[in-house]
A = this chain, B = another copy of it.
């Protein structure tokens, strides 16, 4: 008999997508992964991220998702985006082959520059492939209202992609009655114990 993995089968997907004349941008959060500890607890072994997916328009209100370009924002890159002032810019660089023998073959950059007058930002992703000698570029304007949705959703996602919501959730909210607690987690008093 096969018991489906409930962790996977119950998974829910949600995104926020904006469609513009030349391209669309969709973003969705990705959970951190945990590894089990000997104590029975678990610890984040890989932070989550927020995946930005750009894909080009190929006609009026038609988009080709197969030509998508991906850019996974780390927690600190999310921090950079959500603290961006109305006249500020930022740019992130990713090398998909970092620390492998292919390092430097492909370079991705995501830039965010103000449209001016506090009216939003222009997002541009560039993927430079030094082997194929190709450069792909997708860009679109984001209004202030759309950026506010992004900022609000990213701010909400940030503690989750770090796993803090899970670290701060009590699994079994009733106070345990019988067994003596074995304190595994660091305790504030441990500051004093050195």
Contact = CB atoms under 8 A, between A and B. Distances in A.
B70 A41 contact: no
A56 to B, nearest CB: 14
Given A71-B191, A157-B159, A43 B13 contact: yes
18 contacts: A4-B179, A5-B176, A5-B181, A5-B182, A6-B171, A8-B41, A9-B39, A12-B163, A12-B169, A13-B167, A14-B164, A18-B76, A29-B164, A31-B185, A36-B175, A49-B188, A80-B148, A152-B159
B80 A14 contact: no
B191 A5 contact: no
A145 B83 contact: yes
Chain A binding surface, main DSSP class: mixed
Given A178-B3, A188-B49, A8 B170 contact: no
Interface string A117-139: 00000000000000000000000
A153 B162 contact: yes
A116 interface: no
A-B CB proximity, top 10 nearest: A9-B40, A14-B163, A80-B145, A96-B192, A79-B149, A79-B148, A11-B41, A83-B148, A156-B159, A14-B167
Nearest to A7: B176
Query: Taking the full assembly, how many copies of this chain does it contain?
Result: 4
A171 B10 contact: yes
Contacts of A194: 69-70, 96
Given A30-B187, A96-B192, A41 B16 contact: no
Interface residues of A, number: 97
Interface in A67-85: 69-72, 75-80, 82-83
Contact of A8 (B7, B148, B153, B181): B181
